[in-house]
Structure 1
Amino acid sequence: MSMFKFIAEIREFFNPYLACQLCAIGRQQYYGLCHDCWTELPWQHELVYKQQMCFYSACRYCYPMDRIIQQFKYQQQLQFQALLAGLLLQLQLPKVQALVAMPISTQRLNTRGYNQALLIAKIIAKVRNIPIWQPIIRTHQHAQTGLNRFERLDNIYHQFHIKPRLDRHYHHILIIDDVVTTGNSILALKHSLTLLGCTQIYACCIAHTPS
């Protein structure tokens, strides 16, 4: 018997029934969810195209994914990070040299306490044995209200900056994000990574808002 199986059986003995994190009725089977809740998630079965880019997306951004992500992102409900990472692990992601988590500004980091995309990326990196690379910093994220499409895109482009000193460089990378709405942030991040010499840039998200 392997050590991992032994530990799992010990946990099962002392916790024979762990309730589903969504319905609180069924038994946890898939990253904290019961079989029914897992099956009924709003799965995205095709690639998503936004801003002339192709995205890998696990789900559509609707109930219950919107509630789960909001609680994880804004209410410190960190028990959902295993589930959210597990959703990405269901995707047939491309082979890359490194993962790049969508950066957030220092202001938002101080307010929230963590970068939600980076937490998820760390789990993916550990499971897939891929390094995390964060060569881009993000400055203050200004409100987009009242701006037209081109002004919003220009605003976002100016938020991303290459770090002055980098000890590593990769050419094939995968961007990890939580939610993709317009795709502007990933497009701007891709532009900065291209300036660093990245030649193959893929992007994936936990959920996306339908066009």
Structure 2
Amino acid sequence: MLQFINQLLHKSIQSISPCLLCGIDQQKKHSLCNDCWAQLPWYKQYIERHQQKILCAHRYDFPIDRIIQVYKYEQQLHYQNLLAQSLLNLSLPKIQAIVPMPISNDRLKERGYNQMLIIAKIMARQLNIPVWQPIIREAQHSQKGLSRIERLENIEYQFKIIKTEKRKFKKILIIDDVVTTGSSIHALTHALENLGCQQIYNACIAAAL
């Protein structure tokens, strides 16, 4: 009942709230007006990184690049629905669970939240599937100046399986905000394969093309 009331209140607020970008027209389900939504730098295609396909919602161009930055680093959490709906607007495969890209405890303390976990929860509610977090990420180090092989090895060691995790899913979707080299998704995929996942799909909000 409480969830139903919250959804009703959310829809009522949306019906009188202006678009998050232009501030003029009425926002819709995705928190933008229809014109601003249509003018986002949509890509909606697969990119390939490390022999893995990643379904990408947007090019990493304005205004998505700025929206992701302020959402991620400046606690502008009112953009969470826009970013979640960008992923939900893709032709996603049928999956059993969503795996948000983990962040280290240091990053969590620094930001106060895992930006992709928030988005994963919105998506999970709409898709009626669970959010699954069977992997933790240890200290994240800078990748600058590293070769491709060194970059992959550095990230591989960051992802650790939570041994107490009892749930198992075979078909899962990894989600991330921005993909550049794809090293993080590659390493997380490898860890999930060690857990027995057989069909691992990947999606990102934006990619540097």
TM-score, reference length from structure 1:
0.91
User: What's 2:103 paired with?
Assistant: 104
Q: Using the alignment, how far apart are the partners of 1:27 and 1:131 within structure 2?
A: 31
User: What's 1:36 paired with?
Assistant: 35
- Asked whether the 8 Å contact 1:171–1:197 carries over to 2, the reply is yes
Where do residues 37-52 of structure 1 align in structure 2 (5 Å cutoff)?
A: 37-52=36-51
- Asked whether the 8 Å contact 2:44–2:90 carries over to 1, the reply is no
Q: Using the alignment, how far apart are the partners of 1:192 and 1:159 within structure 2?
A: 10
User: What's 2:117 paired with?
Assistant: 118
TM-score, reference length from structure 2:
0.92
- Asked whether the 8 Å contact 1:30–1:38 carries over to 2, the reply is no
Q: Deviations over 1:22-64 (max 9, x none)?
A: 1212221242111221111010132221211111111111100
User: What's 2:92 paired with?
Assistant: 93
SS at match of 1:165: coil
Where does structure 1 differ by over 6 angstroms across 4 or more consecutive aligned residues?
none
Distance 1:16-1:144 versus aligned 2 partners, 3 A rule: closer
User: What's 2:203 paired with?
Assistant: 204
SS at match of 1:45: strand
User: What's 2:77 paired with?
Assistant: 78
Question: More displaced, 17-26 or 102-111?
Answer: 17-26
RMSD: 2.0
User: What's 2:179 paired with?
Assistant: 180
Instruction: Using the TM superposition, give the Cα deviation of residue 17 of structure 1 relative to its aligned residue in structure 2, in angstroms.
Output: 4.1
Q: Deviations over 1:132-167 (max 9, x none)?
A: 111110000011122111111110111001112121
Q: Using the alignment, how far apart are the partners of 2:130 and 2:31 within structure 1?
A: 26
SS at match of 2:43: coil
The aligned length equals 205
Distance 1:26-1:148 versus aligned 2 partners, 3 A rule: same
Q: Using the alignment, how far apart are the partners of 1:130 and 1:84 within structure 2?
A: 18
- Asked whether the 8 Å contact 2:15–2:27 carries over to 1, the reply is no
- Segments of structure 1 that go 5 or more residues without pairing to the other structure are none
- Asked whether the 8 Å contact 1:136–1:160 carries over to 2, the reply is yes
User: What's 1:60 paired with?
Assistant: 59
Q: Deviations over 1:82-131 (max 9, x none)?
A: 11111111111111111111000000001001101110000111110111
SS at match of 1:203: strand
- Asked whether the 8 Å contact 1:21–1:32 carries over to 2, the reply is yes
- Segments of structure 2 that go 5 or more residues without pairing to the other structure are none
Q: Using the alignment, how far apart are the partners of 2:165 and 2:21 within structure 1?
A: 42
- Asked whether the 8 Å contact 2:173–2:201 carries over to 1, the reply is yes
Q: Does residue 130 of structure 1 match 2:129?
A: yes
Q: Using the alignment, how far apart are the partners of 1:23 and 1:208 within structure 2?
A: 24
User: What's 1:167 paired with?
Assistant: 166
The structure having more radius of gyration, on CA atoms, is: 1
User: What's 2:12 paired with?
Assistant: 11
Q: Using the alignment, how far apart are the partners of 2:143 and 2:163 within structure 1?
A: 28
